[in-house]
Structure 1
Amino acid sequence: MSSIFSIAALLTGSALLLLAGGLHGLLLPLRGLSEGFSDSSLGLLGAGWAAGYMIGCLVVPVIVKRVGHTRSFGVLCSLAGITLLLNLLLMHPLAWIILRALSGFCFAGAAMIVESWLNERATSNTRGRIFGIYTMINLGATTVGQMLLTVGDPTGFVFFIIGSIIYSLALLPTALSTAASPAPLTQARLDPKKLWKNSPIAVVGIFLVGISNGAFGTLGAVYGRRIGLEVSDVAIMMSLALLSGALIQLPVGYASDRLDRRIVLIAMAMAAMALGFCLTLFGGINPVATIAMVAAFGGMIFSMQPVIVAHASDHAEPGEFLKTSGGLLLIYGIGTMVGPVAAAPLMTATSPSALFQITAAAHLTIIVFAVWRMTQRAAVDADERTDFVPSLATGRYNTPETSTMDPRYDEELEDQADSDDEAYHDPAVDEVRPEAPEADPDGLNADAGKKI
C-alpha cells in the first residue's frame, strides 16, 4: 500500500489521461457519422492516430531531454485538449485526420512521461504489482470514458468540452508533484532483421494483429451505427469488447505458459474468425446478441498481442526484452495504420460487415503462417519460457516506457546487452574485444535523481 500511495498522483494523472482518451476515441467516429463523413474518412482517422502515436514514441523523448518532463507533459496535455476543441470547430474530414494525428502524438508522449515517472518509483520487488495496478486503472478509465457517451448526445458540443477539461485536469497531479525527475525516456528501436531472426511469427503476427485491431478499434463504432444500433448500445458494445479482452487474458495466459504459444495464437485466431463470420451473417438482427458476439470477438483479438510478445521473448537473448517489445510495438503501429485504411472502402462498397472480412483475412494469414512455422521450429520447453504478462487490452496505448515497467524487464541485463552491442562489438571483425572499457551508450542514468 505504501508503494501505491507514493505513486497515487501519477496514477491519477494517467487515469484522467486515459479517461479523456477513451471518450475522445469513440466520440469522433460517432460524431463523424452524424456529420456525413464517409467510411474512408473515418478509417483515415485511425491511420492518423497510429501515425501520430508512432511519431510521438520516437520524437517526444528528444523533446523531454531538452525541456524536461513536467513542461513537456503540461504542453502535451494542453495541446491534446486544444485538439479536441478544434475537432468541434473544424468539422471537415481532412482537418480531423490531421488533428487526430496530433492527438496521437500528444497522447503517446504524455503516456510515456507518466510511465517513466512510475518506473522511477518502482523497485524490482514492486514493479510487477505497480504494472498490474497501472494496467487495471487505465483499462477502467478507458472504459468509463467510452461509457460517458451513453448519458448524452454526441451530436452536440458538451462531450468535446468535457474531454478537453479532463485533458487539462490530467496535468495537475504531475505539475504539483515533488517527485524527482526520472531518467530520460526510452526510445523504441526497430531492427527488423534481428526481430525476424528471433521470431518470424512474432513479426508477421503482430503486424496482422495490428491490421485487425486497428480496423476494429477505429471502425467498430461505425459498424455498430451502420447496422442500426443506438449510440448507447455502441458505447456498451465497444466497452465490453475492451473489458473482455482484459478478462480473457487470464485463461489465455495460463494456457500459453503451458502449451506452445503458437497453438494458443492459432486457437484465438480461429475463434475470432468464427465470431466474425457469425457477425457477418447475424449482426444487427438482435442488438443483445450482436453486442455479446462483439464482446467475445474483442476478447479474442485484444488478447493476441501479449501472447505474441511472450512468444518473441521466449526466443530473445538475455537483455533483449526492451528491444524486442519496442520493435514489435512499431510494427504493430504500422499494422494499425493499414487496417482501417483497407477496411473502410470495402465497408462503403459492400456492407458494414466487410469490417470482419478484413479481420478474417488477417486472422487466416496468422493461422496459415503459424502452422507452417510449427513445422520449422520446435516449441520452447515450458521451464524455459518467460512468463505471460497481461497488458492493456487494446495495445493502442502501449509505449516503449510500458516495456520498462514490465516485470520481465531486467535493467541490468538490458544495460549489459547495450554495452556488449555498442562498446564491445566490432562489426568489421565480428569479435569481442575484452579490453574495451565499460560504457553507458544510452545515457540511461545521466539525469536520474535531478529535481524538477
Structure 2
Amino acid sequence: MSAIVSISALLIGSALLLLAGGLHGLLLPLRGLHEGFSDSSLGLLGAGWAAGYMIGCLVVPIIVKRVGHTRSFGALCSLAGITLLLNLLLMEPLAWILLRSLSGFCFAGAAMIVESWLNERTTPKTRGRVFGIYTMINLGATTLGQMLLTLGDPTGFVFFVIGSIIYSLALLPTALSTAASPQPLTQARLDPKLLWRNSPIAVLAIFMVGISNGTFGTLGAVYGRRVGLEVSDVAIMMSLALLAGALVQIPVGYASDRLDRRLVLVAMALLAMAIGFTLTMFGGQSAVVTIALITAFGGMIYSMYPVILAHASDHAEPGDFLKTSGGLLLIFGTGTMVGPVVAAPLMSATSPSALFQITAAAHLSIIVFAIWRMTQRAALASEDKTDFVVNIASARFATPETSVLDPRSPDEPQNEDPSYRDPVEDEVPADEEAPRP
C-alpha cells in the first residue's frame, strides 16, 4: 500500500489521460458521421492515430532527453487538449486526419512519461502488482471516457470542451509532484530478423491482430451507427467490448500457460470469425443482440495480443524481452494503420458488415499460418514457458515503457544512462540567486 500511495499522483495523471483519450477516440467518429464524413475519411482517422502514436514512441524520448520529463509531459497534454478543440473549429476531414495524427503523437509521449516515472518508483518485487493496478485503472478510465457520451449529444461542443479540460487536468498531478525525474525513456527498436528467428507466428499474427483491432477500434462506432444503433448504444457497445477483452484474458491466460499457445490463438481466431459471421447475418436487427455479439467479439480480438507476446517471449533469449515486445509493438502499430484504410472503402462500397470481412481475413491468415507452424516446431513444455501477463493496455495504448513495467522484463533497468541529468533539475531554483561570476 505504501508503494501505491507513493505513486498515486502518477496513477491519477494516467487515469485522467486515459479518460480524455477514451472520450476523444469515440467522439470523433460519431461526430464525423454527423458531419457527413465518408467512411474512408473516418478510416484514415484511425490510420493517422496509429502513425502519430508510433512516431511518438520513437521521437518523444529524444524530446524528453532535451527538456525533461515534467516540461515534456505538460507540453504534450496541453497540445492534446488544443488538438481536440481544433477538431471542433476545423470540421474538415483532412484537418481531422492531421490532428488525429498529432493527438496520437501526444498521447504516446504522455503515456510513456507516466510509465517511465512508474518504472522508476517500482522494484522487481512490486512491479507486478503496480502493473496490474495501473492497467486496471487505465481500463476503468478508458471505459468511463467512452461512457461519458451516453450523457449528452456529441453533435454539440460540450464534449470537445470537456475532453480538453480533462487533458489539462492530467498534467497537474505530475507538475505538482515532488518526485525526481527518472532516467531517459526507452525507445522501441525493430529487429525483424531477431523476431522472425524467435517466432515467425508472432510476427505474422501480431500484424494481423493489428489489422483486426485497428479496424474494429476505428470503425466499430461507424458500424454501430450504420446499422441503426443510438449513440448511447454505440458507447455501451464499444465499452463492453473493451471490458470483455480484459476479462477474457484471465481464462485465456490460464489455458495458454498449460496448452500450446498457438492452439489457443487458433481457437480465439476461429471464435472471432464465427462471431463476425453471425454479426453479418444478424447485426442491427436488435440492439441487444448486436451489443452482445460485439461484446463477445471484443473479448476475442482484444485477448490475442497478450497471447502472442507471451508466445514470442517463450522463445526469446534471456534479456531480450524488451527488444521482442518493442519490435512487436511497432509491427502491431503498422497493422493498425493498414486495417482501417482497407476496410473503410469496402464498407462504403458494400455494407457496414464488410468490417467483419476484413477482420475475418486477418484471423484466417493467423489460423492457417499457426496450424502450419505447429507442424514445424513442437510446443514448449509448461514449465519452460514464461508467465502469461494480463495486459489490458495492449489493444491500443501500449508503449515501450509499458514493456519495461511488465513483470517479465529484466530486473535491471534497460534504459539507464549514467550521464543523464534532467534539464529541469540542472536549473537554479526560482527562489535562489545564481552565483555571481
| TM-score range relative to shorter protein | over 0.9
Query: Does 2:430 correspond to 1:447?
Result: no
Query: Does 2:288 correspond to 1:288?
Result: yes
Q: Is the 8 A contact 1:23 1:142 kept in 2?
A: yes
Q: Is the 8 A contact 2:48 2:337 kept in 1?
A: yes
- The residue that corresponds to 1:428 in the other structure is none
Distance 1:287 1:445 in 2: 57
What is the percentage of aligned positions where both structures have the same residue? 80
Task: Map Cα deviations across residues 36-92 of structure 1 (whole Å, 9 max, x no partner).
Answer: 000000000000000000000000000000000000000000000000000000000
Distance 1:3 1:227 in 2: 47
Q: Is the 8 A contact 2:68 2:423 kept in 1?
A: no
- The residue that corresponds to 1:380 in the other structure is 380
Distance 1:394 1:121 in 2: 22
Task: Map Cα deviations across residues 144-179 of structure 1 (whole Å, 9 max, x no partner).
Answer: 000000000000000000000000000000000000
Q: Is the 8 A contact 1:39 1:347 kept in 2?
A: yes
Distance 2:196 2:336 in 1: 19
* Equivalences for residues 187-266 of structure 1 within 5 A: 187-266=187-266
Q: Is the 8 A contact 1:225 1:234 kept in 2?
A: yes
SS in structure 1 at match of 2:319: coil
Distance 2:245 2:267 in 1: 15
Distance 1:393 1:74 in 2: 22
Number of equivalences: 425
Distance 1:403 1:196 in 2: 19
Distance 1:59 1:302 in 2: 27
Q: Is the 8 A contact 1:188 1:327 kept in 2?
A: yes
State the Cα distance separating 1:200 from its structure 2 match: 0.2
- The residue that corresponds to 2:2 in the other structure is 2
State the Cα distance separating 1:372 from its structure 2 match: 0.3
SS in structure 1 at match of 2:156: coil
Question: What's the TM-score once normalised by structure 2's chain length?
Answer: 0.96
Distance 2:180 2:64 in 1: 14
- The residue that corresponds to 1:424 in the other structure is none
| Change beyond 3 A, Cα 1:403–1:322 | same
Query: Does 2:70 correspond to 1:70?
Result: yes
1:286 maps to amino acid:
S
SS in structure 2 at match of 1:404: helix
- The residue that corresponds to 2:181 in the other structure is 181
- The residue that corresponds to 2:147 in the other structure is 147
Distance 2:422 2:216 in 1: 42
Task: Map Cα deviations across residues 306-344 of structure 1 (whole Å, 9 max, x no partner).
Answer: 000000000000000000000000000000000000100
2:227 maps to amino acid:
I
Give 5+ residue unaligned stretches, structure 1. Answer: 416-441
Q: Is the 8 A contact 1:182 1:448 kept in 2?
A: no
CA RMSD of aligned residues (A): 1.2
State the Cα distance separating 1:448 from its structure 2 match: 7.3
Distance 2:75 2:400 in 1: 20
Task: Map Cα deviations across residues 253-288 of structure 1 (whole Å, 9 max, x no partner).
Answer: 000000000000000000000000000000001100
Distance 1:196 1:145 in 2: 38
- The residue that corresponds to 1:11 in the other structure is 11
* Equivalences for residues 404-415 of structure 1 within 5 A: 404-412=404-412
- The residue that corresponds to 1:423 in the other structure is none
Q: Is the 8 A contact 1:40 1:345 kept in 2?
A: yes
Q: Is the 8 A contact 1:83 1:102 kept in 2?
A: yes
Q: Is the 8 A contact 1:246 1:393 kept in 2?
A: no
State the Cα distance separating 1:449 from its structure 2 match: 8.9
Q: Is the 8 A contact 1:15 1:137 kept in 2?
A: yes
Q: Is the 8 A contact 1:209 1:305 kept in 2?
A: yes
State the Cα distance separating 1:443 from its structure 2 match: 4.8
- The residue that corresponds to 1:117 in the other structure is 117
1:159 maps to amino acid:
F
State the Cα distance separating 1:193 from its structure 2 match: 1.0
Distance 1:181 1:451 in 2: 9
2:235 maps to amino acid:
A
| Change beyond 3 A, Cα 1:320–1:448 | farther
1:312 maps to amino acid:
A
1:121 maps to amino acid:
R
2:216 maps to amino acid:
F
Q: Is the 8 A contact 2:56 2:109 kept in 1?
A: yes
Q: Is the 8 A contact 2:67 2:422 kept in 1?
A: no
Give 5+ residue unaligned stretches, structure 2. Answer: 426-437
Query: Does 2:104 correspond to 1:104?
Result: yes
1:313 maps to amino acid:
S
Distance 1:118 1:343 in 2: 37
| Change beyond 3 A, Cα 1:116–1:443 | closer
Q: Is the 8 A contact 1:179 1:451 kept in 2?
A: no
Distance 1:209 1:243 in 2: 18
SS in structure 1 at match of 2:371: helix
2:420 maps to amino acid:
D
- The residue that corresponds to 1:57 in the other structure is 57
Q: Is the 8 A contact 2:138 2:393 kept in 1?
A: no
State the Cα distance separating 1:451 from its structure 2 match: 7.5
State the Cα distance separating 1:381 from its structure 2 match: 1.1
Q: Is the 8 A contact 2:262 2:370 kept in 1?
A: yes
| Change beyond 3 A, Cα 1:132–1:388 | same
State the Cα distance separating 1:380 from its structure 2 match: 1.1
- The residue that corresponds to 1:47 in the other structure is 47
